[in-house]
Amino acid sequence: MDDISSSPASESDLPRTAPKTLMGSLLRQFWHPVALSMDLRAGEAHPLRVLSEDLTLYRGKSGAPHLIGGRCAHRCTVLHTGIVEDEQIRCMYHGWRFNAEGACTDIPAEKRVRPNPPGIEGYPVREYSGLIFAYLGAAPAPEFDLPRKDVFEDEQRSTLVKREIWDCNWFQQIENSMDAVHLGFAHMWGVAGQFGDSVSGGGLLPDLAYEETSSGIRQIATRPNGNVRISDWTFPNNNHIVVPGAKKGGAWAHVSVWATPIDDTSTMRFRLYSTEEKDPAVLERARRDQEFQPLDHVARLFRGALGGLSEQAIISAQDYVAVRGQGEICDRSRENLSASDAGVAFLRRVFLRELEAIRRGRPGKAWSRLREAVHLPAPPQRAVE
Ligand code: FES
Ligand SMILES: [Fe+2]
């Protein structure tokens, strides 16, 4: 890893995602969601940028998704313009063909078969609950276990998936997950949505507690009105919380949010939403609520004009304004952390420990799926008019 420096891991390493950086190496040890299943039909190929790498995501004729390098090994044209042939893809320029592992399997203009034709990268993929996950690290891939949760596999519940693109660094989005104080401010800003109002009890500040678990960090925010909010954060980029459902006063939904870096200044936010709601009309409203994209509304969001947005969109918009407002990549040298940032500091310590292990060539923590049940209580319901 030639880009890895001799000085200890520091906060300047946190935002970086490219191969051969400390964080890029750490992130490549995990499965990440990279696309929505419904966005990729059999026989289609799409360009995809993940962790600062340009890739080609395609779905074979069998229906299986595949992820390989972005450019042809011959003369480097993009491969998403190629033709999918069964489980392989053929470059549109001179017809070189690659399989799902990135190996070249045909060079039509050559009369003799080459023993070792040049290939490209090929990465394992998995589909889970409407999301396509990929592992971009060295073989062998870890078991596909850490991203799983029982609540998202419960057949009595309905799930919805969403992808948002945010034009800023992934790590400040992760830090936002570990910052319970922002609920009483950011989520009351522009318009007091049900989420900010209920969770924060109208703006009450919480006592904060954090503990490291086998899978990540458990965050407990206790407010003076007795409301205890727990979130179950999974290393390195997933948060599991409860949010209001699409029906006012109805059951709260479980939401799992991943921040997958596209590169250092843009992020795909995948959201897996699980509800016990059965009413088709409410489920349809929840599905429509997923259509909101902050980037379509930047100017008005930064003016605080959040009127007319759904509850889910308000949450997303408020987080977007706060986090994008820190800049494309937050300059942490200008910060002044305070008592409210206990979770942010805790999170950074965990990451810096894991980055330092990589720098020293030592094994990091063997993160594993949390086996004990975590109860994520919804706040007491306020009266619904
Ligand atoms: S550039 Fe792909 S076959 Fe020539
Ligand atoms: Fe938030």
Per DSSP bridges, beta strands 158-166 and 131-135 are unpaired
Could you give the percent of the chain with pLDDT greater than 90? 86
Phi and psi angles of residue 56, each rounded to the nearest 5 degrees, phi first: -125, 120
Rounded to two decimals, the pTM is 0.95
pLDDT at residue 169 above 90?
yes
pLDDT band at 209 (very low <50, low <70, confident <90, very high): very high
Domain ranges of the chain: 31-135, 150-359
- Probe residue for ligand 1, chosen from 56, 94, 106 as the CB with the greatest number of ligand atoms within 8 Å: 94
Question: Do the Cβ atoms of 78 and 126 come closer than 8 Å?
Answer: no
Q: Tell me which residues have their CB within 5 A of the ion that is ligand 2.
A: 319
Tell me: domain 150-359, CATH 3.50.50.60, correct?
no
- Predicted confidence at residue 378, as pLDDT, reads 83
Q: Are 194 and 183 in contact (CB under 8 A)?
A: no
Q: Does domain 31-135 have CATH number 3.90.45.10?
A: no
Q: 111-128: per-residue pLDDT in tens? A: 898 999 999 999 999 999
Q: What is the mean pLDDT of residues 9-13?
A: 96
Residue 140: count other Cβ atoms within 10 Å of its Cβ: 8
- Confidence (pLDDT) at 383: 43
Ligand 1 binding pocket mutation candidate from 68, 72, 110 (most atoms within 8 A of CB): 72
Q: What is the mean pLDDT of the chain?
A: 94
pLDDT at position 202, please?
85
Which residue has the CA at smallest separation from atom 4 of ligand 1?
A: 94
The model's confidence at residue 384, banded by pLDDT at 50, 70 and 90, is very low
Cα-to-centroid distance, 105 and ligand 1 (Å): 13
pLDDT of residue 249: 80
8 A C-beta contact, residue 223 and residue 205: yes
pLDDT (mean) for 326-332: 97
What average pLDDT score do residues 189-196 get? 89
